[in-house]
């Protein structure tokens, strides 16, 4: 079932032209990626996004290969449209997870949480899938292009979950004008169609959004989790604190609650064991990842919004009610088209004044 847009095809032409490259890369009507949110971006939301004309992405997270295989198969039962899988590079079963994607003929694999090795990129491409990765800087984006990456996502610090230190607007200015070889998708803090249109005008092939889709009917997130999003303001989505610069922990943006303090305590425990020689750094970082996965499950699945993790981007302040995926997409497309039309009219008025 496709998305029933409120606008006519001719009216969508300016937008379709801007994100044509993204649509062709993804194989869908709307170059809008669903952000991979652990426990949220599962079969139901992923299939709903793809069926509605956007592009759903399964969040593999800490899944084991057999669990991922089950999730992909279940998603394929719900949609015959393209969707992707987001795989964390530090996962100890990375090669097996990629092999599962290949066996299930997943069309797109997103490599997240680090810098992929050339052999990892080659493994995905050899399976026939397209591979995308997250670039935190221009130099790394260019390195990705040289290594054979098919597309790049740039995600600013406004995003929910694991994020970097640079804002979306700065990353876009740094990277979009200089990377033309592959499609570049922009993510982080995007909640309205005007922002999508603006990044497309800067050269983006499309945008990635997660927070806006949490409070959709198709999302399995617990009603308590959704209610917390609807109540929240942008300033409530805060970054976690790294206690020790010698022990790098990727910051996590979430709504502040008791889990925020628990994460601090978990870091202290891990750091103490790491310095005492009881645990290696990679294993310690994985343990931190497991903390967030468990805390996030308590919130998303069980509805524990006090001690569970409420990962959310700063665009959470733009979430005001629960609605369907199609309604969100229609709203975004309408806003983008209005922005483009207003810009066109303003340009025509300037031309008229110049002629006079």
Tokens standing for residue 305: 């919004």
CA distance 188 to 8: 29
Can you tell me whether residue 209 is helix, strand or coil? strand
Q: Do residues 6 and 330 lie in contact, with contact meaning Cβ atoms separated by under 8 Å? A: yes
- Give, as one character, the DSSP assignment of residue 230: H
- Give the count of alpha carbons within 13 A of 153, CB side only: 31
pLDDT value, residue 74: 98
pTM over 0.75: yes
Q: Residue 283 corresponds to which tokens in the numbers above?
A: 């294993």
Tell me, what's the pLDDT at 271?
83
Collapse the DSSP code of 255 into the 3-class scheme (helix H, G, I; strand E, B; otherwise coil) and give the result.
strand
The per-residue pLDDT for 119 is: 95
Secondary structure percentages of the chain, helix, strand, coil, to 5: 50, 15, 40
* pLDDT attached to residue 246: 66
Q: Residue 248: what pLDDT? A: 61
Provide the pLDDT for residue 346. 79
CA distance 36 to 52: 17
Check: CB of residue 165 under 8 Å from CB of residue 157. Answer: yes
To which residue do tokens 């910051």 refer? 251
Q: Write out pLDDT tens, residues 279-310.
A: 887 787 778 777 777 888 999 999 999 999 99
CA-to-CA dists, residue 344 to 31, 63, 219, angstroms:
22, 47, 36
pLDDT value for 352: 67
Question: Which residue ranges in the chain fall short of pLDDT 50?
Answer: 1
CA distance 300 to 258: 15
* Burial label, 177 (beta-carbon count in 10 A; 0-12, 13-18, 19+): exposed
To the nearest 10 degrees (0 to 180), the angle between helices 43-51 and 325-355 is 40
118 C-beta neighbours (distance < 10 Å), count: 11
What does the pLDDT look like over 46-91, one tens digit per residue?
999 999 999 999 999 889 999 999 999 999 999 999 999 999 998 9
pLDDT for 1: 46
Please give the domain boundaries of the chain with CATH numbers for all domains.
Answer: 13-221 (3.20.20.70)
pLDDT for 13 equals 87
């Amino acid at each position: 079932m496709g998305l029933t847009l409120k606008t006519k095809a001719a009216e969508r032409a300016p937008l379709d032209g801007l994100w044509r490259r993204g649509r062709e890369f993804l194989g869908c009507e709307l170059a809008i990626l669903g952000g991979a949110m652990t426990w949220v971006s599962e079969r139901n939301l992923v299939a709903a996004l793809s069926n509605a004309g956007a592009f759903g992405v399964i969040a593999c997270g800490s899944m084991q290969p057999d669990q991922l295989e089950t999730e992909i198969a279940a998603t394929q039962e719900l949609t015959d449209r393209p969707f992707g899988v987001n795989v964390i590079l530090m996962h100890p079963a990375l090669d097996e997870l990629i092999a599962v994607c290949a066996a299930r003929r997943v069309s797109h694999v997103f490599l997240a949480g680090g810098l992929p090795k050339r052999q990892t990129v080659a493994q995905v491409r050899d399976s026939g899938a397209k591979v995308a990765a997250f670039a935190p800087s221009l130099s790394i984006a260019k390195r990705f292009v040289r290594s054979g990456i098919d597309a790049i996502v740039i995600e600013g610090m406004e995003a929910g979950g694991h994020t970097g230190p640079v804002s979306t607007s700065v990353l876009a200015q740094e990277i979009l004008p200089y990377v033309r070889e592959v499609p570049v998708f922009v993510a982080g803090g995007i909640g309205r169609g005007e922002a999508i249109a603006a990044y497309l005008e800067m050269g983006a092939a499309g945008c990635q959004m997660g927070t806006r889709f949490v409070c959709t009917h198709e999302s399995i997130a617990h009603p308590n989790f959704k209610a917390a999003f609807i109540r929240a303001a942008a300033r409530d989505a805060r970054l976690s604190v790294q206690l020790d610069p010698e022990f790098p922990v990727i910051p996590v943006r979430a709504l502040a609650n008791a889990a925020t303090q628990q994460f601090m305590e978990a870091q202290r425990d891990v750091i103490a064991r790491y310095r005492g020689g009881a645990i290696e750094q990679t294993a310690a970082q994985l343990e931190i990842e497991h903390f967030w996965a468990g805390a996030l499950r308590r919130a998303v699945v069980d509805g524990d919004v006090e001690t569970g993790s409420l990962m959310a981007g700063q665009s959470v302040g733009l979430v005001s009610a629960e609605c369907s995926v199609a309604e969100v997409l229609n709203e975004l497309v309408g806003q983008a088209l209005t922005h483009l039309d207003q810009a066109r009219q303003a340009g025509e008025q300037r031309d008229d004044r110049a002629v006079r």
